[in-house]
Structure 1
Amino acid sequence: MSGNINESKFKIPATATRPGFTVTNEQRTYNLNSLTVRSLSTHWSVGMKIGAGYSDFLNQDFALRFQPAVEYNYFPWTEQTRRQLTFLYNVGPNYYDYQRETVYGETSELRLSQQLTASFVSRQQWGTLNLSLDWLNYLHDFDRHALTFTSNADLRLGRGFSLNVNGSAARVRDQIYLPAAGNTEEEILLQRQALQTGFRITTNIGIRYTFGSIYNTIVNQRFSSLGSSGGRFQFMFF
């Protein structure tokens, strides 16, 4: 379960033609997820993730997802503390209730989607490397899809500190949630809702501090592409 309320205020200075004013932006996101996994062998697993959420940014008053999935790990799961090469496939229904009518004329809709994720994880003395390639598409229209490559490197500095470098590149064609009316100039400046885009590239670098057992995050890494299974307290500084 997670939630986020982001409130920001911007003071717009006065000009010769208008007085100054203050703009307040509140952006809310809530998510509730349940993940159940069953091990079939040292390589295969099956599971189900059920999720519900609310997002101002994605124009969603309510979202509900059912994701039955199957996962294969090339390496035995007994080696998960050292290395993983997994392939995870899930397919299932998604229900969306929108805040505003979408560019496709929908105020709510039920759509089937499928997703295939290939992930590689290597844990060494120097740190951890994560690479993943993810494909998602809606089954009613294969043109509504997204392809995303993500990389993350955590380089140990000692005493709980590490240097974290991550980045992603995505081809984006799955934005069925965009409002038909578009966004006002104020909403665009405040990044209140997602904007139409064909490609997305992000990079981050920061210092991570972790306390607690270093083994908490590797108790059970099955279906980590769908949801975390284990955790420890962390702070990130960008």
Structure 2
Amino acid sequence: MTIRTLLVAILVLIGPARATYAQSVPPAGQFDAARLKVYLDCQYECDFDYLRTNVAFVDWVRDRADSDIHLLVTTQTTGGGGSSWTLKFIGAGPQAGADETLTFSTASTDTSDARRKELARLVRLGLTRYVVRAGQTNSLDVTFKPPAALDAQTTPQKDPWNYWVFRTGVNGNLGGEQTSKNGSYRLNLSANRVTEAWKINLSTNGSYRENTFEISETTTIRSITRSWGVNTLVVKSLGPKWSAGVRANLSGSTFSNQDWVLGITPGIEFDVFPYAESTRRSWTFLYSIGAERANYTDETIFGKLEETVPIHSIGSNLGLRQPWGSAGASASFSQHLNKPERTRLSIFANADVRLFKGFSFNMFGDYSRIRDQINLKRGGASVDEVLLRQRQLATGYRYFVGFGVSYSFGSIFNNVVNPRFGGGGGDRMIIMF
């Protein structure tokens, strides 16, 4: 086949597609100035392509500064394993002061398609008010679907499970090359009951990981690590800002040189903001005190095969989700009461902030100062144990840091969805440093 023949064939194939696209998309640069401009601010679970396609009576813009409506979507896990959604419509410009909040819930058994359909429905419903305020009623209609007839004597449905939700799962993966292979498996079970007054979480898990490396025809290195755990948390609500609870954990790990460790720690927590506002802001302080009983696989660096350690800890956690972005920070300090010099200080922070139009900064990092590794196995570690991470090693600290900036410029509109060659189209142009 000649190059000329090939080019003609390609043009024949793409010609209809080009015509269809031209008919479905307005000419470049032409937008209705009267249409609402909406900026979507959603970190998780929002299918933006689906929203742009199914909420087409507004213009979606790339930056908050160009919007009439800032749509802030937050989610929180419910006791049943589903999600509680909060849609905050924040007016700007001509819509300033006209804020609105809508909420809805999805079940853990809902598909991603069901979740995005319900989200799109609530977005359309929430935007209706602003369309009316903008004077675009000529293109607006409302459809009401009456609910199925209900018996006037119908009583509230009784939950046969009394708010208990059970889950089980098995995960595994395998991989390999000619001279190496790896596999890991994990089993987990959980039972949870969450009401306004009580929160009960019960869970158990186990994992197995194996790696094999053929160094030569006569030398093969094999690494196996196992871990398991049983975890219990019971919390009682003491009001809009206070709660009390107790944790009980039983676990074991070959990596940590622990046959088993049992810990019981009651505690009390205070939230500076009401718990009801946790989707937007939360600042908690938690103090707990208890004890741990441990049995070790091998003798520790302190000559122990078993021991009981009284311990207490204090921690604080701050989380903010606002129109300017999101930020969070946490700090915790734990100490052995029988050996006060054995401590651990951990600090974590993250932020994703829009500093000015089109420019965002994000960072995350954590640091731990470690002085409480009483479980370490006596004796030096072999090269294989170090490289394959078969055992925990002594360290005075751990840290991890990441950061980045992005700058977006160009057209303010972000309406078009074009899935050709694997992309949704209409996304922002981002420069990363």
Q: Does 1:151 align with 2:349?
A: yes
TM-score where L is the length of structure 2: 0.42
Task: Look up the match of 2:288.
Answer: 90
Where do 1:52-63 residues align within 5 Å?
52-63=250-261
Report the CA distance shift for 1:50/1:190 in structure 2 as closer, same or farther (over 3 A).
same
The amino acid of 1:3's aligned partner reads G
Query: C-alpha displacement at 1:204, in angstroms?
Result: 6.5
Q: Is residue 2:242 matched to residue 1:44?
A: yes
Q: Distance in 2 between matches of 1:128 and 1:3?
A: 34
The structural deviation recorded for 1:144 is 0.7
* 1:9-24 correspondence runs (5 A): 9-13=212-216, 20-24=218-222
- Offset, 1:127: 6.2
Match of 1:129 in 2: 327
Which residue of the other structure, out of 279, 287, 306, is the alignment partner of 1:81?
279
Three-state SS of the structure 1 residue aligned to 2:365 is: strand
1:94 Cα shift? Answer: 0.2
Distance 2:316 2:260 in 1: 29
| CA distance 1:8–1:180, change in 2 (3 Å) | same
Instruction: Show the counterpart of 1:193.
Output: 391
Residue aligning to 2:419: none
Q: What residue number does 1:224 align with?
A: none
Are residues 7 and 145 of structure 1, via their aligned partners in 2, closer, same or farther at CA, if it must alter by over 3 Å?
same
User: Cα distance, 1:58 vs. partner?
Assistant: 1.1
Q: Residues 72-124 of structure 1, C-alpha deviation per residue, up to 9 Å, x if partnerless? A: 11111121111111110111010110010011111001111111111101123
In structure 1, how many angstroms separate the alpha carbons of the residues matched to 2:325 and 2:222? 41
Closer, same or farther in 2 for the Cα pair 1:38/1:154, shift >3 Å?
A: farther
Deviations 1:9-61 (A, max 9, x none): 22324xxxxx6522111111211111000111111110011111011111100
2:209 is the counterpart of 1:6: yes
Secondary structure of 1:141's match?
Answer: coil
Cα distance in 1 for residues equivalent to 2:241 and 2:285: 10
The number of residue pairs the alignment matches comes to 192
Partner of 1:71: 269
Q: Distance in 1 between matches of 2:325 and 2:224?
A: 37
User: Partners in 1 of 2:313 and 2:259 — Cα distance?
Assistant: 23
Q: Percent identity?
A: 34
Determine whether 1:183 maps to 2:381. yes
Q: Does 1:33 align with 2:231?
A: yes
Q: Quote the offset at 1:143 in angstroms.
A: 1.0
Kindly tell me: are residues 186 and 73 of structure 1, through their superposed partners in 2, closer, same or farther at Cα, counting changes over 3 Å? same
The amino acid across from 2:284 in the alignment is T
Distance 1:192 1:139 in 2: 30
Cα distance in 2 for partners of 1:204, 1:59 equals 31
Once residues 227 and 351 of structure 2 are traced to their aligned partners in structure 1, the CA distance between those partners, rounded to angstroms, is 27
Aligned-CA RMSD value: 2.1
Alpha-carbon separation, structure 2, partners of 1:204 and 1:64: 35
Question: 1:194 corresponds to which letter in structure 2?
Answer: Q
> Structure with the greater relative contact order (CA < 8 A, sep ≥ 6): 1 or 2?
1
Q: Which residue pairs with 1:119 in the alignment?
A: 317
Instruction: Specify every segment of 5 or more residues in structure 1 that has no aligned partner in the other structure, as ranges.
Output: 14-18, 156-163, 206-238
Query: In structure 2, the residue corresponding to 1:143 is in which secondary structure?
Result: coil
One-letter identity of the residue aligned with 1:145: T
How many angstroms apart in 2 are the aligned matches of 1:66 and 1:33? 10
C-alpha change, 1:189 and 1:88, in structure 2 (3 Å) is: same
User: What is the CA-CA distance between 1:196 and the residue it aligns to?
Assistant: 0.5
TM-score (norm 1): 0.74
- Cα–Cα, structure 1 residues 204 and 109, in superposed 2: closer, same or farther, change >3 Å? farther
> Structure 2: any 5+ residue segments left out of the alignment?
1-203, 354-361, 404-433
In structure 2, how many angstroms separate the alpha carbons of the residues matched to 1:166 and 1:20?
45
Looking at structure 1, the residues matched to 257 and 207 of structure 2 have their Cα atoms a distance apart, in angstroms, of 15
Q: CA deviation at 1:167?
A: 2.7
Instruction: Specify which structure has the higher proportion of strand.
Output: 1
CA change 1:27–1:140 in 2 (3 A) is same
Using the TM superposition, give the Cα deviation of residue 185 of structure 1 relative to its aligned residue in structure 2, in angstroms. 2.2
Quote the Cα distance in structure 2 between the aligned partners of 1:120 and 1:6: 35
Aligned pair in 2 of structure 1 residues 154, 25: CA closer, same or farther (>3 Å)? farther
- AA at the equivalent of 2:206: G
Largest Rg, 1 or 2: 2
